[in-house]
Amino acid sequence: MTQSTTELAKIGLIGLGTMGAMLALNIAEKGFRIAVFNRTTATTEAFKADSGELSKRIVAALSLEALVASIARPRAIILMVPAGPIVDQQIDALRPFLDEGDMIIDAGNANFHDTERRAKEAGVTTIGIGVSGGAEGARHGPSIMGGGPRAAWDRVAPILRAIAATYDGTPCATWMGEGGAGHFVKTVHNGIEYADMQLIAEAYGIMRDGLAMGSGQIATVFEGWNTGPLQSYLTEISAKVAGTTDPETGAPMLDVILDRAGQKGTGRWTAVEAQHLGAPIPVIEAAVAARNISASLDERRAGQSVFGAAPQPLAQGTLSISDLESALIAGKILCYAQGFALLSKASDAFEWSLAMPAIAEVWRAGCIIRSAMLNDMARALTEDPARNLMQAPFFADLMRQHAPGLRKVAAVAMTQGLPVPALTAALGYFDMMRTARSTANMIQAQRDFFGEHGFERLDRDGGGFHGPWAS
């Protein structure tokens, strides 16, 4: 049967895993007819059957050819498949059915280098969009970071803005720049996410192992913090998970979860790109390293048996909950400052012209790192996008107020064997970034001594000077 134009879908989607299914339902709920395909046809059929009232806007395609035929021209098809070779395989399988003007939208957690390569090799218009918010965000409103040709983004922007989260009525869906810009911004978002989660976990560890607080007490602390400067999605859910009881054992949920953190690679990609660009992001790098160390479960257990347990209880009155809150506030500011500094470096290196205030604004709702601070960050970046965030007047005042707490917590934790790699990295960064005369002169002297690399002098212009080491 030949379909009329009115019966054709506005957009297509391939991949009905958790994120893909939720995004498809979101699109349908916003009034757009959508064609869906999954390589397992039973999944496609079950998805439509279980979609309730929304099923009338869902076309269940049982082949790629049928999917393409179900979409109005020029076609736009979202890929929600795992990052890596599977994306390339899906593009290769889809390409024979596409016409000039059709578009592929990669909405997975792709490495931006792959996105840029595919834009050149795919033989069809491709854009990459970062989608953040987990399954809940995908279903009810994610944060969307677009990259690729501006004209291509503009074509699908009405749909993407309609399904995105909103902040004061403004959709959290924005074009970031050409090529892989959208996926790079999403990568840095995830790097900040790694850091924020690690900072929270370290505060949890101090409360659990240093202050002998139970999960219920810790939940109450997080609940209180979520009403102040630390208000954020991650603080909110930390309170919820700390306050949850395991239905099987009756024990606190946190007491039955194995302490081995998973990762999908985006945090690592952030750290790798930062090294390539020479952008210091020590808090994010510490968070990535902490996840790697968490995976070394047997080695950690062996280390405790050889040397004894590192964490030791704190004497009463050594640290307060207020001290911990200050440490987290300062650490949070510093990890976001590092993330935006990395974005600025990448923008220059890849000629993306990333709009820093727009990035902060698109993260204000829908995404995992949404936070009360982001509105203030957007204002600060509007005033001066090139300035380190911690130096903006609003955040400089917060750092003056809370940096002493960060220093106290880091110092006390280290003396008592409480692991706080992200907090100490934040403190180290803060101190180094306010040291006008560093110790790198010693490094330059060493490099010149053994490799004749040369150095610059304080008392004259130019470079290529050498010390009298050989005399």
Read off the pLDDT of residues 226-255 as tens digits, 9 standing for 90 and up. Answer: 999 999 999 999 999 999 999 999 999 999
- Give dist(CA 386, CA 453) in Å, integer: 31
- Give dist(CA 192, CA 337) in Å, integer: 10
- Give dist(CA 93, CA 444) in Å, integer: 54
Query: How many residues make up the chain in this entry?
Result: 471
Is residue 186 part of the annotated active site? The answer reads yes
- Maximum alpha-carbon separation in the chain: 91
| Residue pair 267/191 in contact by the 8 Å Cβ criterion | yes
- Give dist(CA 390, CA 183) in Å, integer: 25
Residue with tokens 């240093």: 210
pLDDT given at position 2: 40
- Give dist(CA 323, CA 206) in Å, integer: 11
- Give dist(CA 119, CA 177) in Å, integer: 13
- Give dist(CA 391, CA 398) in Å, integer: 10
Residue ranges of the chain assigned to CATH 3.40.50.720: 7-179
Superfamily of domain 7-179, CATH level 4: NAD(P)-binding Rossmann-like Domain (3.40.50.720)
- Give dist(CA 329, CA 371) in Å, integer: 12
187-432: CATH architecture: Orthogonal Bundle (1.10)
pLDDT given at position 262: 83
Q: Which pairing describes strands 143-147 and 125-132: parallel, antiparallel, or unpaired?
A: antiparallel
| Residue pair 105/127 in contact by the 8 Å Cβ criterion | yes
Is residue 193 part of the annotated active site? The answer reads yes
pLDDT given at position 347: 96
Q: Which two tokens stand for residue 145?
A: 């970071």
Q: Which two tokens stand for residue 116?
A: 């840029």
Read off the pTM: 0.94
- CA angle 127/133/135 to nearest 5° reads 100
- Give dist(CA 110, CA 107) in Å, integer: 8
pLDDT given at position 292: 94
User: How many CB atoms neighbour CB 95 within 10 A?
Assistant: 14
- CA angle 389/394/397 to nearest 5° reads 100
pLDDT given at position 289: 96
pLDDT given at position 6: 55
Closest CA to 77 of 114, 36, 19: 36
SS3 281: coil
Residue ranges of the chain assigned to CATH 1.10.1040.10: 187-432
In terms of Cβ atoms closer than 10 Å to its own Cβ (0-12, 13-18, 19+), residue 199 is buried
Strand ranges inside 89-124, DSSP E = 103-106
pLDDT given at position 5: 47
Catalytic-role residue among 178, 193, 202, 285: 193
Catalytic-role residue among 186, 285, 332, 345: 186
Q: Which residues of the chain have pLDDT under 70?
A: 1-6, 471
Strand ranges inside 54-191, DSSP E = 58-60, 76-79, 103-106, 125-132, 143-147, 166-167, 170-171, 173-177
pLDDT given at position 471: 62
pLDDT given at position 3: 44
Residue type at 289 in one-letter notation: A
